[in-house]
């Protein structure tokens, strides 16, 4: 339990400091050390560089940004007003509007925004070397992601906790609202598919991992029954029992793996696992939340906070050397993990951890209803995203401390390097990243796996990285346990995102269908629940299915698509914020959101353009579709591939039109924002600001102190 405290102790630099600490000299020192660390990382060529520099560079950047940039935005641009009553105070009802201790809100907000995204993205982007991803995580978070989260939280707080979609409709017009709604739904579908693929690839032919992940379901249900019926509301008691059982399940997986009869039960191929996950997603979406989703979410939150703290401690204790070069030859677009040049694809691949549009949905939903005072907005909006960015930096370290040869052997799909081990190592060694079959076999044996070749999706390589870090600090003999612990840790919150996402998708669909047939909007009417849940699962299940059968590994297609969708949502949130800033007479400060917005438009636009027009078969959807059709028509494909080719071709066209759709929606919202801004500047009538009028704060300093204030 004390892990939570350790977790929060990362951020002492983020707390508004008392006077003695804010001496300019000290900040100068922080700036100098930070600059030296970033410079050291950026200019380093050839010699090995220590992971500690990454941590120092990140912490110095975050501290400076939080102390100066975030504080300036809060006071000068947003004009945060601590005398103003927050919705939690004005509308307090003991249920959703509750003034809450800021550290508690910080914890809840962080747990909500930080999912598997910041772990997977940096791992995949490490194919370009450690430098591009690291710089983008730092710069993107400080100037983009944190700003987006903070301003969205602020504007939503000023509007009684309205959702992003509602704000877009009120401030920009109907187009913005519809775009946010559609964006949210599609991003959910693609996100769930790609995360499902990550879990499938981690469990494929791994009885140990499959058993451990399956065991999390009955454990969660047990915890659910405990919390609901045996001892209602005893959250900590139930979670402790659950966490202990999860750890037993990790060890139990090893025993199952060693037992030939049981082993066969859990040894499954990708496609069967994909069907299992779809069946599970459907069951989880219609089952009552208390039975599975809510208890598992408790467990996954504890696991997440605990494991991330443990990783930070282990990294500081071990401070390993980074083995990946600063830049690899794959910046030219020939990378095995996903195709495409450094620009724009590194900015698409790393969304969460740098800037993630999905956060704007959380920052405009639950969190604003909990704020006790507006002055907490900087710490919660900006601070929580800084912590997520730090998680992404740790994922980058965990990926780059592996031997590059091993990293590429784990992450390259069979379609890229060949299905035979000897073939794969020869190809990867020829790229300049030496690795041998023996080395891979030894590693797989140490991790308790049959093979680690072509385990795409980022989870297995992250788990190998984490296991080797934990193993070096806490004991080598337990490598296999650490590896499966890491897999379980990733799987458990991927599955939480999967069912929570399916549920939200179901609600959105029920709401939409309710406009046509009101009965459908009844969230407890079983036929409606079954139909809409099936439709949502079918949507992501389709992409998951194609991702599994695609020999080039669906990650190459799905992850960039997810990145584009997520950045599009971020752009919509930034459009809303920019529009509000201009309308409220703050044009001279509108660049704080307009600058990251412009960058996102350039990045998303370029990526979409390349995805549509590139002649590189691994980048261009149309090029790949035409190539495959031609080969199929000429009979050049092996029988196995010819059988699935029509499905792959259809999917490539679908992906192309989806990309086109995203860009069109984005452009329409941007035009809407520009029109509203121009009208406002020219003095023409525009939608009025929907801000709630000022009500004085009634909480006394003493009451605020009770909420744990300094």
What minimum distance in Å lies between the beta carbon of 554 and other proteins?
17
* Pick 98 or 645: Cβ nearer other proteins: 98
**How many Cβ atoms sit within 10 Å of the Cβ of residue 706?**
13
Q: Smallest Cα–Cα separation from 257: which of 445, 477, 461?
A: 445
User: Residue 352 or residue 663: which is nearer to other proteins going by CB?
Assistant: 352
Q: How far is the CB of 105 from other proteins (least distance, A)?
A: 10
> Rounded to an integer, what distance in angstroms lies between the CA atom of residue 576 and that of residue 416?
42
- Whose Cβ is closer to other proteins: residue 504's or residue 530's? 504
Cα distance between residue 58 and residue 571, in whole Å: 25
What is the C-alpha separation between 7 and 26, in angstroms, rounded? 24
Outline where 401-453 has alpha helix (H).
404-411, 414-417, 421-430, 437-446
Task: Count other C-beta atoms under 10 Å from residue 476's C-beta.
Answer: 13
Q: Residue 308 Cβ, how far from other proteins at the closest point, in Å?
A: 15
Least distance in Å: CB of 564 to other proteins?
A: 14
Length of the chain equals: 710
Cβ nearer to other proteins, comparing 63 with 355? 355
Contacting positions for other proteins (CB under 8 A): 1-2, 4-5, 92, 94-96, 98, 101, 103-104, 107-108, 112-113, 115-117, 184, 191, 195, 227-228, 232-236, 239, 289-290, 293-294, 297-298, 351-352, 356, 358-359, 361-362, 365-366, 496-497, 500-501, 503-504, 507, 523, 562, 566, 708
* Burial letters 675-690, b for 16+ CB under 10 A, else e: bbbeebeeeeebeebb
Residue pair 600/344 in contact by the 8 Å Cβ criterion: no
Smallest gap from Cβ 382 to other proteins, in A, equals 17
270/288 Cα distance (integer angstroms): 28
Closer to other proteins by CB, 113 or 624: give it.
113
Residue 319, by phi and psi: left (phi above 0), alpha (psi -120 to 50) or beta? Answer: left
49, containing H or E segment: strand 49-50
Rounded to 5 degrees, φ, ψ at 353 are: 105, -30
Compute the least distance from the CB of residue 557 to other proteins, in Å. Answer: 17
Q: For residues 60 and 539, which CB has a smaller minimum distance to other proteins in the complex?
A: 539
18-28 burial by CB neighbour count: b if 16+ within 10 A, else e? eeeeeeeeebe
Closer by beta carbon to other proteins, 24 or else 94: 94
Q: Is the CB of 497 or the CB of 614 nearer to other proteins?
A: 497
Work out how close the CB of 121 gets to other proteins at its nearest, in angstroms, rounded to a whole number.
9
Nearer to other proteins among residue 206 and residue 389 (C-beta): 389
Closest CA to 147 of 88, 71, 55: 71
- Residue 602 CB, nearest distance to other proteins (Å)? 22
Nearer to other proteins by Cβ, of 364 and 651: the residue is 364
3-state secondary structure of 322: strand
CB of 112 to other proteins, least distance (A): 5
In the complex, the smallest distance separating the C-beta of residue 265 from other proteins, rounded to whole angstroms, is: 31
Cα separation, 93 vs 98, in Å, equals 7
């Amino acid at each position: 339990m004390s892990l939570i405290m350790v977790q929060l102790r990362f951020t002492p630099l983020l707390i508004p400091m008392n006077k003695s600490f804010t001496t300019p000299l000290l900040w100068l020192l922080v700036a100098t050390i930070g600059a030296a660390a970033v410079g050291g990382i950026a200019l380093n060529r050839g010699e090995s560089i220590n992971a500690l520099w990454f941590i120092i560079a990140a912490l110095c950047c975050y501290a400076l940004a939080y102390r100066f940039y975030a504080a300036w935005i809060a006071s000068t641009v947003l004009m945060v007003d601590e005398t103003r009553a927050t919705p939690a105070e004005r509308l307090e009802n003991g249920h959703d509007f509750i003034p809450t201790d800021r550290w508690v809100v910080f914890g809840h907000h962080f747990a909500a925004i930080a999912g598997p995204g910041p772990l997977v993205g940096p791992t995949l982007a490490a194919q370009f070397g450690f430098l591009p991803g690291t710089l983008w995580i730092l710069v993107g978070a400080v100037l983009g992601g944190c700003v987006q989260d903070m301003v969205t939280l602020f504007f939503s707080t000023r509007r009684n906790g309205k959702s992003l979609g509602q704000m877009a409709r009120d401030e920009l017009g109907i187009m913005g609202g519809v775009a946010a709604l559609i964006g949210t739904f599609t991003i959910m579908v693609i996100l769930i598919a790609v995360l499902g693929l990550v879990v499938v690839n981690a469990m494929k032919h791994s009885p140990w991992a499959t058993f451990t992940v399956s065991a999390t379901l009955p454990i969660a249900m047990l915890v659910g029954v405990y919390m609901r019926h045996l001892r209602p509301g005893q959250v900590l008691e139930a979670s402790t029992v659950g966490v202990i059982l999860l750890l037993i399940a990790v060890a139990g997986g090893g025993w199952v793996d060693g037992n030939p009869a049981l082993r066969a039960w859990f040894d499954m191929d990708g496609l069967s696992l994909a069907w299992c996950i779809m069946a599970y997603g459907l069951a989880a979406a219609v089952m009552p939340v208390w039975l599975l989703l809510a208890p598992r979410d408790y467990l996954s939150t504890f696991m997440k906070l605990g494991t991330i703290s443990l990783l930070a401690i282990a990294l500081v204790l071990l401070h390993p050397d980074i083995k990946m070069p600063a830049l690899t030859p794959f910046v030219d677009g020939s990378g095995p993990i996903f195709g495409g040049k450094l620009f724009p694809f590194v900015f698409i691949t790393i969304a969460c951890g740098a800037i993630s549009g999905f956060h704007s949905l959380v920052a405009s939903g639950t969190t604003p209803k909990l704020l006790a005072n507006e002055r907490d907005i900087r710490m919660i909006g900006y601070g929580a995203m800084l912590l997520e960015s730090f998680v992404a930096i740790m994922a980058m370290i965990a990926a780059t401390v592996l031997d590059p040869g091993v990293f590429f052997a784990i992450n390259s799909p069979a379609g890229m390097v060949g299905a035979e081990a000897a073939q794969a190592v020869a190809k990867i060694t020829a790229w300049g990243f030496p690795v041998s079959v023996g080395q891979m076999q030894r590693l797989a044996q140490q991790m308790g796996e049959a093979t680690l070749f072509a385990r795409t999706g980022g989870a297995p390589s992250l788990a190998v990285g984490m296991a080797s870090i934990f193993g070096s600090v806490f004991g080598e003999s337990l490598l296999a346990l650490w590896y499966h612990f890491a897999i379980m840790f990733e799987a458990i919150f991927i599955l939480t995102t999967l069912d929570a996402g399916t549920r939200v998708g179901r609600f959105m669909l029920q709401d939409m269908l309710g406009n046509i047939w009101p009965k459908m909007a009844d969230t407890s009417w079983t036929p409606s629940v079954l139909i809409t849940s099936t439709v949502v699962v079918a949507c992501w299940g389709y992409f998951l299915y194609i991702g599994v059968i695609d020999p080039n590994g669906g990650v190459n297609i799905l992850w960039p698509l997810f990145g584009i969708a997520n950045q599009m949502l971020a752009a919509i949130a930034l459009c809303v914020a920019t529009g509000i800033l201009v309308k409220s007479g703050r044009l001279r400060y509108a660049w704080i959101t307009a600058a990251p917005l412009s960058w996102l438009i350039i990045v998303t636009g370029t990526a979409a353009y390349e995805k549509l027009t590139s002649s590189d078969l691994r980048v261009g959807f149309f090029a790949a579709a035409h190539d495959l059709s031609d080969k199929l028509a000429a009979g050049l494909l092996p029988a196995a591939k010819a059988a699935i080719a029509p499905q792959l071709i259809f999917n490539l066209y679908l992906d192309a039109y989806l990309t086109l759709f995203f860009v069109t929606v984005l452009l329409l919202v941007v035009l809407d924002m520009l029109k509203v801004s121009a009208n406002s500047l020219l003095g023409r009538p525009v939608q009025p600001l929907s801000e709630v009028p000022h009500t004085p704060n009634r909480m006394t300093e003493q009451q605020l102190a009770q909420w744990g204030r300094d």
